[in-house]
Amino acid sequence: MNVLLLCTACGRPLSEPLRLLPELPARPEYDGRKNSDGSHRAPSTVPRGTYAVDPEPSGAPFVPHPDPEWAGAAVPGVSMSDPDGDGFLMSAGPRDTLVVHREDTVGFLASNPAVEEIGCCGSPGLEGPNRVCPGCGAEVATLFADCSGPFETHFLPDAVRVTPV
């Protein structure tokens, strides 16, 4: 069944029609070579026209991992060194974000004016929700669009309502 993601604050559509996947696919491997569009972005975890629930924490805030040997991903596909200590940071962000292919949100979201992020290829998603509803300005998602990880959007679970088309 196809659904739309709607802003819980104002009811505005935030995506193209989507179909729920039974689980989040494994993060895709990326060799760092240029894509056919000239970008260096890794592919999205989910294909166009689909979404999945990510049970793991996603994005900001970030906290030191208790095991200094751990080197997992703090944001999708990216390990981040702890600038204030030994070891790495891990995400303490929201769980159960809705992962959507970036192309399924084009024209439906606006940049968050309160978040200024600079990455070499796009927004890295390190500062928290960087996408807002263009209708009411509510923070609704984080776009991960830097070359360091998958090119995808993670919707905050409480910011969107899933509605059948």
Q: Please, what is the average pLDDT of the chain?
A: 89
**Residue 68: inside a domain:** no
Q: What is the pLDDT of residue 38?
A: 65
Evaluate whether residue 140 is within a structural domain: yes
**Is the distance from CB of 143 to CB of 76 less than 8 angstroms?**
no
Give the number of domains in the chain: 1
CATH of the domain at 112: 2.170.150
* pLDDT tens-digit readout, 55-93: 999 999 999 999 888 888 777 767 788 888 788 989 999
Instruction: Give the range among 35-44, 60-69, 140-149, 154-163 with minimum mean pLDDT.
Output: 35-44
Q: How confident is the model at residue 147 (pLDDT cuts 50, 70, 90)?
A: confident
Asked whether residue 164 is assigned to any structural domain, the reply reads yes
Kindly tell me if the per-residue pLDDT of 41 is higher than 90.
no
Is 40 contained in some domain? Answer: yes
Pick the range with the lowest mean pLDDT from 29-33, 46-50, 151-155: 29-33
Tell whether 163 is covered by a domain: yes
Residue 73 lies in a domain: no
Judge whether 141 lies within some domain.
Answer: yes
Domain enclosing residue 140, as ranges: 1-27+34-57+94-165
- The verdict on residue 74 lying in a domain is no
- Give the pLDDT score at 116: 86
